[in-house]
Amino acid sequence: MDTLEQTIRKIKEFRDARDWMQFHSPKNLACSISIEANELLEHFQWTSLDESAITPEKKEAIAHEIADVGFYLIELADNLGINLIEAIAQKLAINEAKYPAEKVRGSAKKYTEYPQAPQ
Amino acid sequence: MDTLEQTIRKIKEFRDARDWMQFHSPKNLACSISIEANELLEHFQWTSLDESAITPEKKEAIAHEIADVGFYLIELADNLGINLIEAIAQKLAINEAKYPAEKVRGSAKKYTEYPQAPQ
Amino acid sequence: MDTLEQTIRKIKEFRDARDWMQFHSPKNLACSISIEANELLEHFQWTSLDESAITPEKKEAIAHEIADVGFYLIELADNLGINLIEAIAQKLAINEAKYPAEKVRGSAKKYTEYPQAPQ
Amino acid sequence: MDTLEQTIRKIKEFRDARDWMQFHSPKNLACSISIEANELLEHFQWTSLDESAITPEKKEAIAHEIADVGFYLIELADNLGINLIEAIAQKLAINEAKYPAEKVRGSAKKYTEYPQAPQ
């Protein structure tokens, strides 16, 4: 299987073979991430919260939408000189501090709803 | 730096230390991807299409939002047994067929707008 | 209470007093509708499907987000010369044909999932 | 033409003739608003910021998407006992205070970026 670096290279080759960089401004890629995220969400629009209804066909369609979000997200990060893996590691460290495990365990409150939460 | 596999493991450790899997249904994660995608989009809400206005501070804020989208996207894929890297490779192959480079070069038309495009 | 026409006029007065029309291209307004729609969705990000948890405070916050979506939606329609009320009436007529009541009653399938559905 | 009240009534008749209220929880409607908002945004995904490219066909397609967002937004407001027109009037009053015309004229900064902005 490819590494993330190989995936980045393939995405850029696909784009550049079509001369599409001219359309891939950060703003347009951010729009595209939202658009694809909502095509993904559409698969769950009317469903209940459990996943029992995911058939193999639906799973494949969902995988395609996940890929589309990932495609634009990885490209945007790369275009802006942001390393996705590193950005996630940094955000996880921030969230570790914002949401100490012993304080938030089992609760989905947003951290701003915790009186003493760091801002 | 972490590999994608290590990132997946860290994301799950973060989630499970907080007992948050109970909230992370596919539907809720799909909602979260859209919500985070739009926090990312908000950075470009009123901007022009070029990126000259991205200051280092703004770039850091953008990196955090990209990380949030990536976080939920990677978790959703993993929860559904979808390999993100593989899904992107498969979607790229589909798009190679849908958008032959020699036909679409320099055009942003959706493939359904090409008369002979495969459906 | 205001009519929709008075609301349109107020929205435009608010915008023009700030000289903001220069930022309100159709594309930017479409981005804004999505961004505000997701601030609305954020209130339901981790909730179950029933609404029992909507406190008066939360209801007020939700009303503000609904207003923000409505604000940009009404402005975009007006800027493009689209009458929102009329557009909804036309779309309802289309949906009446797409989803005949006797066929779809009690089912949330998308119309494309009905074999004989009109395309 | 219909009034907003007549539109609300028609939307509810359409829904209830299909027994769809069971799917129209606030969370599902909020998802639907975001999904439709992004089908609207898709029309502007790769376009520049000016609207010169909106053909009559495209305008009709855009009107349909605007109607879909409006449809769900009006229904959600009504289901929650929120008057859309009134909510917009209240939010406009809040925004008048947040963004005094003489201070923000011609600037698209978010109000939190103004040092003395009310929080």
pLDDT for A117: 39
CB D24 within 8 A of CB D79: yes
CA–CA min distance C67, chain B (Å): 18
pLDDT reading at C115 higher than 60: no
pLDDT for D53: 73
Which has more pLDDT, B117 or C41? C41
- Residues of A with CB below 8 A from C31's CB? 31
Chain B CB within 8 Å of residue A1 CB? yes
Helix (H, G, I), strand (E, B) or coil at A24: coil
DSSP structure string for C48-101: -SS-TT--HHHHHHHHHHHHHHHHHHHHHHHHTT--HHHHHHHHHHHHHHHS-H
Q: Hey, CA dihedral for D110, D115, D116, D119, is it positive or negative?
A: positive
pLDDT reading at A114 higher than 80: no
Which has more pLDDT, D116 or D65? D65
A31-90 tens-digit pLDDT: 999 999 999 999 999 988 776 678 999 999 999 999 999 999 999 999 999 999 999 999
Largest CA distance in chain C: 53
CA–CA min distance C87, chain B (Å): 24
What whole-number distance in Å separates Cα of residue B45 and Cα of residue D114? Answer: 17
What whole-number distance in Å separates Cα of residue A73 and Cα of residue D47? Answer: 19
Interface contact flag, B34 A37, Cβ < 8 Å = yes
pLDDT for D74: 98
What whole-number distance in Å separates Cα of residue C12 and Cα of residue A1? Answer: 54
Local confidence pLDDT in tens for the 119 residues of chain B: 789 999 999 999 999 999 999 999 999 999 999 999 999 999 999 988 776 678 999 999 999 999 999 999 999 999 999 999 999 999 999 999 999 999 999 888 876 676 543 33
pLDDT for B114: 63
Residues near C30 by beta carbon (within 8 Å), at least 6 away in sequence: C76, D37, D40, D41, D43, D44
pLDDT for A38: 98
What whole-number distance in Å separates Cα of residue D2 and Cα of residue C81? Answer: 17
Interface contact flag, C49 A46, Cβ < 8 Å = no
| Two structure tokens written together for B9 | 């493991």
| Two structure tokens written together for D42 | 């898709």
CA–CA min distance A69, chain C (Å): 16
CA–CA min distance B66, chain D (Å): 19
| Of A107-116, B78-87, C2-11, D98-107, minimum mean pLDDT range | A107-116
Chain D CB within 8 Å of residue C110 CB? no
- Residue spans of beta strands (DSSP E) within D2-59: none
- Residues of A with CB below 8 A from B15's CB? none
Helix (H, G, I), strand (E, B) or coil at D3: coil
Give this prediction's pTM: 0.93
CA count, 13 A, side-chain hemisphere, C1 = 13
pLDDT for D6: 96
pLDDT reading at C61 higher than 50: yes
Please measure the distance between the N-terminal and C-terminal CA atoms of chain B and give it in whole angstroms: 41
CA nearest neighbour of D4 among C74, A87, A73: C74
What whole-number distance in Å separates Cα of residue C101 and Cα of residue D45? Answer: 34
- Residues of A with CB below 8 A from C49's CB? 48-49
Mean pLDDT (chain D, rounded): 91
Residues near B85 by beta carbon (within 8 Å), at least 6 away in sequence: A1, A2, A3, A4, A7, B4
Which has more pLDDT, D41 or A118? D41
Residues near A72 by beta carbon (within 8 Å), at least 6 away in sequence: A29, A32, A33, A36
C16-39 tens-digit pLDDT: 999 999 999 999 999 999 999 999
What whole-number distance in Å separates Cα of residue A4 and Cα of residue A84? Answer: 9
pLDDT for C119: 36
pLDDT reading at D118 higher than 60: no
- Probe site for chain A from B1, B24, B33 (most A CB atoms < 10 A): B33
Residues near C46 by beta carbon (within 8 Å), at least 6 away in sequence: A108, B23, B28
Chain D CB within 8 Å of residue B82 CB? no
Q: Hey, CA dihedral for C41, C47, C48, C52, is it positive or negative?
A: negative
pLDDT reading at C86 higher than 60: yes
Closest partner CB to C31 (pick from D41, D62, D86): D41
Chain A CB within 8 Å of residue B56 CB? no
Q: Hey, CA dihedral for A25, A31, A36, A37, is it positive or negative?
A: positive
Question: At residue D38, what are phi and psi to the nearest 5 degrees?
Answer: -85, -25
pLDDT for C65: 98
- Residues of D with CB below 8 A from A41's CB? 31, 34-35
Angle (CA) A86-A90-A94 rounded to 5° is 165
CA count, 13 A, side-chain hemisphere, D108 = 16
CB C63 within 8 A of CB D87: yes
Residue A106 backbone zone (phi > 0: left; psi -120 to 50: alpha; other: beta): left
Largest CA distance in chain B: 53
pLDDT for A51: 64
What whole-number distance in Å separates Cα of residue A73 and Cα of residue A30? Answer: 8
pLDDT reading at A118 higher than 60: no
Residue B2 backbone zone (phi > 0: left; psi -120 to 50: alpha; other: beta): beta
